[in-house]
């Protein structure tokens, strides 16, 4: 079960709920996957609504991996994601918000 106080977000993939979390390791993996891009640049793209499907996929994969998932981006290519691209983008944005917003 997702714990929003720990930054967890839930995404349903192929009818199964998965917990996503941007752990330090998941963030490092995300930076590696993005190559020369930075996490700050990714945050800025989401804040400005200028993100790509590649950005969404990278964030979802990193969040899934941080939540304990053992798959890869290729595993999601034919998966049914609840809400489609918009649902995945909402989850990706929520992950970033949880990871980079100080607790109240």
**Mean pLDDT throughout 65-90?**
94
Per-residue confidence band for 103, with pLDDT thresholds at 50, 70 and 90: low
C-alpha to C-alpha distances, 42 to 10, 38, 47, 76, nearest whole angstrom: 21, 6, 9, 20
Percentage, residues of the chain above pLDDT 70: 94
Give me the pLDDT at residue 35, please.
72
**Length of the chain counted residue by residue:** 104
Give the pTM. Answer: 0.87
According to DSSP, the β-strands at 16-20 and 9-13 are antiparallel
In whole numbers, what is the pLDDT of the chain averaged over residues?
Answer: 88
Per-residue confidence band for 67, with pLDDT thresholds at 50, 70 and 90: very high
């Amino acid at each position: 079960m997702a714990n929003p106080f720990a930054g967890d977000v839930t995404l349903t993939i192929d009818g199964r709920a998965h917990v996503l979390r941007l752990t330090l390791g998941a963030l490092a993996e995300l930076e590696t996957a993005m190559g020369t891009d930075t996490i700050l640049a990714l945050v800025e793209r989401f804040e400005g609504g200028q993100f790509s499907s590649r950005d969404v996929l990278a964030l979802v994969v990193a969040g899934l991996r941080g939540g304990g998932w053992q798959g890869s981006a290729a595993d999601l290519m034919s998966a049914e994601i609840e809400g489609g691209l918009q649902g995945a983008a909402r989850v990706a944005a929520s992950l970033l918000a949880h990871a980079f917003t100080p607790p109240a």
